[in-house]
Structure 1
Amino acid sequence: MSAPLVPLTVIKGAGHELIQLPKGENAITADFHSTRTKTDSSPAHITSGFYKIEAGPQRPAHYTYEETKYILAGQIDILDEATGITHHLVPGDFAFFYVGSKVKFSTKSHGLAFYAVTRPFRSPHVNLLEREDGKAKL
């Protein structure tokens, strides 16, 4: 007996151009989709969204979950505190952060990345809410 088919979720117009930085901040994470996986062996959350940063102070992060970032535009500098190496990421570059990773994000101009993380939805951006197919008002 096979499992029933499940329809996919489509996010209409979840474009990064809709993401505005909070007043007085130079970086933001903007979750736009999250789900609890149905994987039998190790169910977990998976959440995806955009990370945007502009020139300003370094943004520290100490990871308690896994995350991937794929650079879409600009440049994002990541200081890996475990090695002391600063990685200069540009469009097409990819980074993986393990539980226990400790980094500082910065940029000389601006940067934009798509991310996927193993944590629940936490920081919705007002311009990305209600954009699922069937709800989108485009």
Structure 2
Amino acid sequence: MSSDLVPLTIIKGASHEFIPFPAGENATVADFHSIRTNTTDSPSYLTSGFYKIEKGKAYPLHYSCEETKYVISGQIDVLDEATGVTHHLVPGDFAFFYVNSKVQFSTKSTGLAFYAVTRPVKAAHPNLAGREEDVKSKSKL
């Protein structure tokens, strides 16, 4: 193995089903992994994880970073305050949020999305401890 190569990080069984809602809340994020790069003049981050929401209050957010969400299940409603349009996102839909986007997230039932955001981890996914695959073991396909 070349010393220039870096092994993958694989997290086994760290599914969205293991993400609890904080007490009294109907929406939450759970960061999976963050990558910090030095390929530009200033370091940047790419963090990914899951966003869950259930019927209840709307969650306003004024973005200070870029983010994309891909809806996996259910429906997530996004009110774009710049246009006044509410977008009803369903499985297979992507949404892109830019710095200074101002939105409100809600749903009439439940929604689950995978996201990637340009910020460091701030809400680590619960139950990840002990789920990283042993990098010393060899996978046989």
TM-score normalised by the chain length of structure 2: 0.87
Structure 2 match to 1:127: 127
The Cα of 1:6 is off from its aligned counterpart by 1.3
- CA-to-aligned-CA distance 1:21-71 (integer Å, 9 cap, x gap): 112100000001112024356641111000000000100111000001000
In structure 2, the CA distance between the partners of 1:45 and 1:130, relative to structure 1 (3 Å rule), is farther
CA distance in 1, matches of 2:80, 2:7: 39
Is structure 2 residue 87 aligned with structure 1 residue 87? yes
* Deviation by residue 1:83-132 (Cα, 9 ceiling, x = unmatched): 10000000000001000100000000000000000000001132234432
Match of 2:66 in 1: 66
Q: Distance in 2 between matches of 1:130 and 1:31?
A: 16
Query: Higher mean Cα deviation, 11-20 or 87-96?
Result: 11-20
Question: Which amino acid is 2:67 matched to?
Answer: E
**% same residue:** 69
- TM-score norm. by structure 1 comes to 0.89
Instruction: Work out the CA distance in 1 between the residues paired with 2:8 and 2:102.
Output: 34
Give the structure with higher Rg (CA): 2
1:110 maps to 110
**Displacement over 3 Å in runs of 4+:** 40-43
Instruction: Indicate if the aligned counterparts of 1:18 and 1:127 stay in contact, CA closer than 8 A.
Output: yes
Deviation, 1:9, is: 1.2
Counterparts of 1:43 and 1:8, CA distance in 2: 21
What are structure 2's unaligned runs of at least 5 residues? Answer: 136-141
- Structure 1 residue runs of 5 or longer lacking an equivalent are none
